[in-house]
Structures are given as structure tokens and as C-alpha cells.
A and B are shown apart, each in its own frame.
Chain A
Amino acid sequence: MARYIFRRILQFIPVLIAISLFTFVLMQAIPGGPFDFAGDRSLPPTIVANLEAKYHLDWPMWKQYLSYMIGDDILGEEGGSRGVIRGDFGPSYHFRGQTVADIIKITLPVSAQLGFMSLLLAIIIGIPAGIIAALNQNSWIDYTTTFGAVMFVSIPNMVLAPILIWIFALILGWFPVAGWGAKPPYLLGFLPTALNKEFFSHAIMPVFALGTGSAAGIARLTRASLLQVIGEDYIRTARAKGLRERAVIVIHALKNSLIPVVTILGPAFAALLTGTFIVEQIFGINGMGKHFVTSVGNRDYQVITSVTLLYAVVLVIANLVVDITYAWLDPRIRYD
């Protein structure tokens, strides 16, 4: 197993290099540069030239990419970049004076807290709901659960979130309208320093908005998968040898039926953890989601490449964890 993990981690390197290269090249291929305009107006060519020289955008693209990845000193060039390999993601072109690392340090923990709680909510609601529905197939419980799941999958966040604000913040006054209850610095760099009323009252609505959609998906998948597993031969064997129904389901059927669920949890984890644009925007949460979107419009090359790279890292690690979990869930899968 250790060998398998080691081999997989080595495989990450070419994947991540390819992703960073693609993002970097594609980004620069879009017409318009970061300094062609300031807000609502375009800038004169001399000004654009000064800014491009300052940020080395006048270098050939291969040199810019290497400067970004390995740093200027290794490249033998004048410049302050220490390279991604040494944790320097470069400056932001739009937020002058801030580095990409500064931005990630402030926004990623907020997104991670929100995403982690949402995923937890999705699992806590989704898996039991799916099991109950499957075990009561074609009963009113099944229909109700399925109806609820279809409804929550179908309601987009941009509709659900303002409705939540309207009902629970403006009319009932239970929760604050917007904002996030934890502020930097964070414990261990990503955890809120205090899990108090302030934190949870701010978190409930966005976590609900974000978590219910995923919960619905998980419930549907769990139900379908469990129904399929229950029809397998080894379940019949387990029942035939006289095991109690409860043991059949919990020990034999459930574990196996979670494989498809775990498979989607990997990408879902990566997506939720690195931030979601709409929920963060509507609830005014200072997360990383907005940087995936606004940095493209701003042509903030280093921000785009870095957040994409970060997302890729979380994704490959999450998928590795998923693969390892397979072996635990299904004894037939072995990696050695």
C-alpha cells in the first residue's frame, strides 16, 4: 500500500505541471492583458508598457512560466519571484501590493470551513436518507425522500440563498443576513479560533444552501447503489445462511454500496473546499470562490494559475484518498 501511495504521489507531479502550463498558456491566449484597462477605461500604451515591464509581462511566455514555477534566481534573471516550488505564487496584478499567497491565506480557510461543514451536512443527511429510501423501496417514505432530493438538486443556490436570507434573516431575524463569523488569523492556518454562537449563526444558512444540494445527490446515489447491491448473489447467500436482516444490510450491503458515493465525494470535497462563487457572493463571504471567477475578468494571470493549481492539488489528493478508501470498502480491491 505504501508503495502504491508513493507511486501515485510521483504521478501527481507531471499532472500538476501540465495543469499549470495549460492554464498559464490558455490565460495569456485570451485577448486583452491585465493592464490594458483600469476599471471602466483603457490605458495609453506607454502606461501599459511600464506596467508590463514592472511585472515582466514583456518577457517571452516560456520565461514568464519558468519564472512563475521555479523563480527568477534559478532562471538567472533579475526579479523577485521565488517560484511556486518555493511557495511564492507571485503578485496579484489587480490587488496591487498583495501577493497571491496573501490572498489564498485569507480566503482559503474561510472557503474550507464553509465547504467542510457543507460536505459534512451533505453526508449526514444524504447517506441515511438514501438508505432509508432504499430499504423502504416504493413506499411513501421512498417517494417523499426522492421528491425532497429531486427538489433540492433542482433549486439552484442563487434562488435558495436569497430565499433563506429573506425568511430567516429579514422576517424571522434568527440569523445574520451575511458575513462569516471567523476572522484571520486562523488556528493552524485554517481553523476558526472560536466555535461560538457568532460562528455558527453566520454559518448555518450558507452551509444549508451549499450542503442540501450535495445531500440530495448523495441520497439519490446511495439509494440506487444500495438497491443494486441488495440484489447481488452474496447478499442472497448472507440471507440464506440465516443472518439477521440488520446484519446483512449494515455489514454486507452498506459498505459495498458506498463505493459510488465515495467516488463522487472526492471531486465534491475539492470543489467545496476551494470555494463556491455563488453562495460566497450572495452571503458576502470572503472566500476563495470569487477569485476563480473575477481573476479571469481581471486577467490576473498569477491568481488564476495559482488557484487552479491549488484546486488541482486538492483534487488529486482527494482522489487518492478515495482510491485508498475503495480497498477498505471492498475487500476485492487490492493495490499491492
Chain B
Amino acid sequence: MRKRLLALFSVLIVGALVLSACGGETVVETVIVEKEGETIIETVVVEKEAEAGEIPVTLNLNLGTEPPTLDPSLATDTTSVDIQENLFIGLTNFNPVTNEVEPYLATSWDIAENADGEQTWTFHLRDDVPWVKYDPISGETTQEVDADGNPRFVNAYDVEYGVKRTVDPATGSDYAYVTYVIKNAAAINGGDEELTIDDLGVKALDETTVEFTLEYPAGYFDGISTMWIVKPMPAWAIDEWGDKWTEAGLIVTSGPYVLESWIHGGELSLVKNPLWIAADSVQIERVDFVMITEASTSFALYENNELDSTGVPLPEMDRVKADPVLSEELRIAPVPCTYYYGFTNSKPPLDDVRVRRAFSQAIDRQSLADNVLKGGQIPATSFAPPGIFGAPEPGTVGLGYDAAAAKASLQEYLDEKGMTIDEFNALDVVMMHNTSEGHARIAAAIQQMWADVLGVTVRVENQEWAVYLDTLKNTTPLEDMPHIWRLGWCADYPDENNWVHEVFNADAGANRLRREAGEFDALTAAAGIEPDPAKRAEMYAEAERLLTEVETAYAPIYHYTSVNVSKPWLTRNFPAIGGIDIYNWTVDMDAKLAAQ
């Protein structure tokens, strides 16, 4: 009996498989169905005729990971933001080459002061950007219509809604803090019960004009206006679908591409939005993303012509540089990120500037880039990388590698304290990083440099990322803090305010450096509200100098680069602010097909 049941079950399974195998061309679709009175989203298999005709101009890329969200209010990571930049229009945009803020949805903007003496930014919007939705079953992109059947265009009310949604504490936006420059945003987001969301300093004056009132003057607000968290958002779609509104088949978008399909954790595809205002200039018709974490596998796919562009894994670097074909396809582009070692400024012996200076000047950053990192990284002597407003040119401000000066600086400290180097080493200086092969390799190299130049022994420790961030909080007792620790910072918007002020200002930032507020802190606060750009840039350069040369509160190590290979048939940008502006790229499809 048992055997017979088992046999029957096997037959059933095999039968089902055979039947399904004979089903012919099937495609997976997301549809909305009514079930038991409830409207739900379901994925179904539908029969679809293979479309005859030409193969669309297709780009194949690896995202590396599942984008955690396609909701502009909730995104925090580059993967999510990269996709959103191709799906949604923003108020303004960065020029991929000059890095300047350009008109996008807003055609122009003016800065003024209102009756209460507050700074206002008024954006004048174009009125011809349609809200669209892609239907996975018909494969068509149609413009959204409102309840009365009128076509929907992106307007100032959508901008107001988007900003309010980001600030609303119920949304739970990680990046809401960037909007705190807007009047009342910090209070509303912090749960102030006296204020409602309507007290927020953003208002649509009419369909094409939106006005922001700021908490304090901010010369960098145009940089913030490029960001995903203040993009116009479709209120009706979000109200209807809740958390699920970003799924393929439901998502309403306004950018150059629409979301065709999204298999979470596996694949994501975009197709060109035919109703886009500049559809004629968008050459790539289809983008197929895979989500492969393993860098060596991604590189293998590239070598197999299955990806058009990918990052180069470190172990492959030497081969790529030596290979006549791959070296031609290699492109090293700067990325607006900085890798640095923080000093715990109140923990002996790092509480003495001479010790900190010795540790910073003993790091041979060029050697580190050439022999350990191998990706053309730019040695850093100050914090903000090139391309950020107010950032000094690397090497002009701050302390670079200087073995003699480093040695002398430490010796001066030792002489004053009457210490020998062995007594100094008995203090057991700890350097900590979060667990990662790359950070460990850098730490080992720098540990050796400290030993060679200064004769100091530094103990290197590591912790898992979330535990590590917990350790670095400025509430951690001083005895549990490592003396030296690594962190990195990447631009949210390309302005020094986002760098020296938000990261290192003892009052505004997390103050992991455990500094006493002083001249530097007053200066970065003043620079943020300074209206004259030239003066602001000067103030930031001075602030950078104070923090590195005078205080040496931390040691900048290098500015990141992205190391990519791209097939010859792909013409792409490497925007200075990062990201992938696929609507500006082109693929020579004939060459691509010929290679495959």
C-alpha cells in the first residue's frame, strides 16, 4: 500500500512536469486579481507569442545585490538609487560631466527671503512630464489618468507630497535627516506634537511652482534638490497599494525608463519609456540586470559577453592590466568617497596632537594605492574628494606622507613625557576596523608602516559591522573605544557641508572623534549659511586645513575609485557624483550581437 501511494505520487509529479514542459512559450507576469473580495497581486504564467522583428537595443548589467527598495522616500543605498534615477524624474539633476546642478523637472529656481527673514527656494517646473505605468501583460506603457479621466502630469503638488512623505515619521525614511534643512522638518520628523505635517516648509503655489522655506540659509540646497528623497511621488498609487506600490505592474513612474519586471533577489528589467519628454535621445531600449554578489562570477559573465560592463575583482587586477584587450576596456573613474582612519582624540596617547600627526604622516598613501589597493586610488590629505563643492585639491591641504616629520613628531612627544618607545608600546594602541578582507589588508599594510617608520606596535582588531558601529558611538565608555578606527564617507550631495560639517562637526555630527568643539566647528557652521559661494569655498578649505594640519583629528587615507571594464560596443558615463545614467548611454547592438 505504501509503495503504491509512493508510486502514484511520483507519477503525479513526473506527469505534472511533463505536461508543463509541453506547455510551449510561457512568460511570467505580475497581475492584479480579485480574490475572495480582496484585491491582491499575483504572479502568474501567461502564454505569450514571441515578438517578431528586431532585437531591442539591450544593455546587460550586474546590480550585485537586490535593491532594498524602489521607493524614493526609503532608499539609502546606491543600488536602489541607481535604479530610481532611471525610473523617476527629480527636481534637478547633476550634469554627469561638469557635476553642476542642472534643470530637470524644474526649469529654473530663485532664492529669496520671505517676510519672516527666512530663506526660500522657489522652483518653476515644466508641465509636460507624464506619470506612466507599464503593463506587463500587454507590454505597453500608458499615461496615468485621474478620477475624471484627465491625463496626469508631474506637478508641484507631487513634489510637495513626496517631500512631506519623506519627512512624515510614519514613513520611516532613513534619509529624512538630509531634509532637516527644510523648515520644521527636524521637529516634525522627530515627533514634535505641536506641529503637523502641513507646517513643513514646502508648498505648491500652483501646478508648476513649488516653494521651499528653509530652517536656516543653505547655499547647498540645490544639491539637496537633486536627491531621491525629494522627488515627486504619485500619491494615488501609494495610497492604493501601500508598501507594495513599487512592484512591477503597479509602480507609477516619471523617468526615462519603466520597470518591466522584478524577480526579487534575482533579476530586474527596465524598458524605455516611450512617453518620456526626451525619448528620442534615449538609445538603449531595454536594460536587463542580474543580481550577482560574487565579483569573480560577475567578471566571468563579462568575459563570456553576458555583461556589457562590470567591476574588476582585486585578484584579477594584474591580469586585466597586462591583457592587451582587457586593459583597453579598463576604466578607472573617481568616486566621491573617502576612506579614513579616525583618532579617538580624548584617549591617551592619541589625545596629543604630536602623536596623531606622527600616525598620520607615517602612512605612505601612494604606496598603499599602488601595492595594496591597485585601483588607481587618489591619496587623500583632506576629507572631501575632488568634484565636491569647496573641496581643496588633493595634496594642497593637510598632511601627506613624511617619515622624517612623523618620527620627529613622535620623538618630541616621547622626550617631553620622558618615555622610551617601549613604554609607549606598553600603552597598547588599538586600531579597529569592521570585518572585511579588504580592510584587513589595508590595516596590515598601515600597521607595518607605523612599525617601520615610528617603531610603534599597534594591535589590529576587527568587529562585525553592526557591532562595530555600536562600539564607535560616542556614548561608548572611553576605555572600550579603540584608539584608531576606520570608516568611509560617500557624498549624498556634492557639497562640503555634507562632508566636514555633517561628519566631523562636534555639535552637528556623531562626534566619534570625541573632539572639543572649537574654531573648526564654528567655521563649518558659518560656512553652511554663507551666501557667497567663493567665500564659502574659502571657509571650507580653511576648515579642512584646521582639522588635518592643526588638530590632525583624523587621518584621511584615500579617495575611492571605481574600477570597471566595459565592452567596446558600450559608450557610457562615469558621473562624478556616481550612479548610472543609462539614458545617456549607447550600445552598438550590431557589434554586440556579432560578438555573441
Question: Which residues in A have some Cβ–Cβ distance to B below 8 Å?
Answer: 30-33, 35-44, 46-47, 49-51, 53-55, 91, 94-98, 102-103, 106-107, 162, 165-166, 169-170, 173, 176-180, 183-185, 187-188, 191-196, 281-284, 286, 290, 297, 299
Contact B490 A184 (CB under 8 A): no
Picked from B13, B169, B488, the residue with its CB within 8 Å of the CB of A50 is: B169
Contact A299 B466 (CB under 8 A): yes
Contact B465 A46 (CB under 8 A): no
Interface presence of B16 (CB below 8 A): yes
A195 to B464, CA, bound (A): 42
From known contacts A40-B490, A97-B244, infer whether A169 and B300 are also in contact, taking CB-CB under 8 Å: yes
Nearest CB in chain A: distance from B216 CB, A: 17
Contact A196 B21 (CB under 8 A): yes
Nearest CB in chain A: distance from B301 CB, A: 5
Question: Which residue of chain B lies nearest to A47 when distances are taken between CB atoms in the complex?
Answer: B177
From known contacts A32-B470, A95-B69, A193-B20, infer whether A44 and B266 are also in contact, taking CB-CB under 8 Å: no
Picked from B20, B173, B301, the residue with its CB within 8 Å of the CB of A178 is: B301
Residues of chain A within 8 A (CB-CB) of B291 are 284, 286
Interface presence of B17 (CB below 8 A): yes
From known contacts A102-B264, A183-B28, A196-B21, infer whether A42 and B174 are also in contact, taking CB-CB under 8 Å: no
Contact B16 A98 (CB under 8 A): no
Question: Which residue of chain B lies nearest to A44 when distances are taken between CB atoms in the complex?
Answer: B177
Picked from A177, A180, A286, A299, the residue with its CB within 8 Å of the CB of B297 is: A177
Picked from B189, B298, B303, the residue with its CB within 8 Å of the CB of A47 is: B189
Residues of chain B within 8 A (CB-CB) of A46 are 177, 186, 189-191
A311 to B581, CA, bound (A): 42
Interface presence of B23 (CB below 8 A): yes
From known contacts A107-B265, A196-B21, A286-B263, infer whether A32 and B176 are also in contact, taking CB-CB under 8 Å: no
- Nearest first, the 8 A-B pairs at minimum CB distance are A32-B466, A38-B76, A286-B266, A284-B292, A54-B172, A31-B470, A96-B69, A97-B243
Question: Which residue of chain A lies nearest to B70 when distances are taken between CB atoms in the complex?
Answer: A97
A158 to B383, CA, bound (A): 38
Contact A53 B169 (CB under 8 A): yes
Contact A195 B266 (CB under 8 A): no
Interface presence of B296 (CB below 8 A): yes
From known contacts A96-B71, A107-B265, A283-B297, infer whether A193 and B469 are also in contact, taking CB-CB under 8 Å: no
Residue in B174, B267, B292 with the greatest tally of chain A CB atoms within 10 Å: B174
What 1/0 mask marks residues of chain B from 465 to 505 whose CB sits below 8 Å from any chain A CB?
11101111100000000000000111000000000000000
Question: Which residue of chain A lies nearest to B434 when distances are taken between CB atoms in the complex?
Answer: A40
Contact B293 A43 (CB under 8 A): no
Contact A191 B28 (CB under 8 A): no
From known contacts A46-B190, A53-B169, infer whether A184 and B28 are also in contact, taking CB-CB under 8 Å: yes
Contact A95 B469 (CB under 8 A): no
Contact B301 A183 (CB under 8 A): no
Interface presence of B52 (CB below 8 A): no
From known contacts A36-B470, A297-B464, infer whether A286 and B21 are also in contact, taking CB-CB under 8 Å: no
28 contacts between A and B (CB under 8 A): A32-B465, A36-B466, A37-B469, A39-B77, A40-B490, A43-B174, A43-B177, A46-B189, A94-B68, A97-B71, A98-B264, A103-B265, A106-B265, A162-B296, A165-B297, A166-B300, A179-B290, A185-B43, A185-B45, A187-B20, A191-B13, A193-B23, A193-B26, A196-B21, A282-B294, A284-B291, A284-B294, A286-B263
Contact A195 B21 (CB under 8 A): yes
Interface presence of B170 (CB below 8 A): yes
Residues of chain B within 8 A (CB-CB) of A41 are 489
Q: A55-B172, A173-B304, A284-B291 are in contact. List 17 more A-B contacts (CB 8 A).
A: A37-B469, A40-B489, A46-B189, A47-B174, A47-B176, A47-B177, A97-B247, A162-B296, A191-B17, A191-B20, A193-B20, A193-B45, A194-B21, A195-B20, A282-B296, A282-B297, A283-B297
From known contacts A43-B174, A193-B20, infer whether A170 and B304 are also in contact, taking CB-CB under 8 Å: yes
Residues of chain B within 8 A (CB-CB) of A283 are 297
A180 to B291, CA, bound (A): 12
Question: Which residue of chain A lies nearest to B13 when distances are taken between CB atoms in the complex?
Answer: A191
Picked from A30, A96, A173, A188, the residue with its CB within 8 Å of the CB of B16 is: A188
Nearest CB in chain B: distance from A312 CB, A: 22
Picked from B20, B71, B174, B490, the residue with its CB within 8 Å of the CB of A51 is: B174
Contact B264 A106 (CB under 8 A): yes
Contact B467 A30 (CB under 8 A): yes
Nearest CB in chain A: distance from B390 CB, A: 20
Interface presence of B510 (CB below 8 A): yes
Nearest CB in chain B: distance from A98 CB, A: 6
Nearest CB in chain B: distance from A198 CB, A: 11
Nearest CB in chain B: distance from A71 CB, A: 18
Residues of chain B within 8 A (CB-CB) of A40 are 488-490
Picked from A192, A193, A297, the residue with its CB within 8 Å of the CB of B465 is: A297
Interface presence of B432 (CB below 8 A): no
Residues of chain B within 8 A (CB-CB) of A47 are 173-174, 176-177, 189
A297 to B264, CA, bound (A): 19
From known contacts A106-B265, A283-B297, infer whether A36 and B469 are also in contact, taking CB-CB under 8 Å: yes
Nearest CB in chain B: distance from A261 CB, A: 19
Contact A106 B263 (CB under 8 A): yes
Contact B297 A184 (CB under 8 A): no
A91 to B68, CA, bound (A): 13
Contact A185 B28 (CB under 8 A): yes
Picked from B16, B26, B172, B467, the residue with its CB within 8 Å of the CB of A191 is: B16
A283 to B265, CA, bound (A): 13
Residues of chain B within 8 A (CB-CB) of A97 are 69, 71, 74, 243-247
Residues of chain A within 8 A (CB-CB) of B297 are 162, 165, 177-178, 282-284
A95 to B247, CA, bound (A): 13
A284 to B265, CA, bound (A): 10
A196 to B20, CA, bound (A): 10
Contact A183 B177 (CB under 8 A): no
Contact B301 A31 (CB under 8 A): no
A94 to B292, CA, bound (A): 18
Interface presence of B306 (CB below 8 A): yes
A98 to B472, CA, bound (A): 31
Question: Which residue of chain B lies nearest to A37 when distances are taken between CB atoms in the complex?
Answer: B469
Residues of chain A within 8 A (CB-CB) of B472 are 42
Residues of chain B within 8 A (CB-CB) of A98 are 264
Nearest CB in chain A: distance from B31 CB, A: 11
A187 to B13, CA, bound (A): 10
Contact B177 A170 (CB under 8 A): no
Question: Which residue of chain A lies nearest to B242 when distances are taken between CB atoms in the complex?
Answer: A97
What 1/0 mask marks residues of chain B from 57 to 83 whose CB sits below 8 Å from any chain A CB?
000000000101101001011100000
A106 to B490, CA, bound (A): 33
Residue in B28, B263, B298, B470 with the greatest tally of chain A CB atoms within 10 Å: B470
Question: Which residue of chain B lies nearest to A193 when distances are taken between CB atoms in the complex?
Answer: B20
A107 to B291, CA, bound (A): 13
Interface presence of B427 (CB below 8 A): no
Nearest CB in chain A: distance from B294 CB, A: 5
From known contacts A97-B243, A178-B292, infer whether A184 and B263 are also in contact, taking CB-CB under 8 Å: yes
Question: Which residue of chain B lies nearest to A184 when distances are taken between CB atoms in the complex?
Answer: B43
A169 to B177, CA, bound (A): 47
Contact A195 B17 (CB under 8 A): yes
Residues of chain B within 8 A (CB-CB) of A38 are 76-77, 174-175
A33 to B469, CA, bound (A): 10
A179 to B66, CA, bound (A): 14
Residue in B44, B294, B301, B473 with the greatest tally of chain A CB atoms within 10 Å: B294
Residues of chain B within 8 A (CB-CB) of A54 are 170, 172
A31 to B472, CA, bound (A): 12
From known contacts A97-B244, A178-B297, A193-B20, infer whether A51 and B43 are also in contact, taking CB-CB under 8 Å: no
From known contacts A51-B172, A187-B20, A281-B294, infer whether A178 and B265 are also in contact, taking CB-CB under 8 Å: no
Residues of chain B within 8 A (CB-CB) of A188 are 16
Contact B21 A187 (CB under 8 A): no
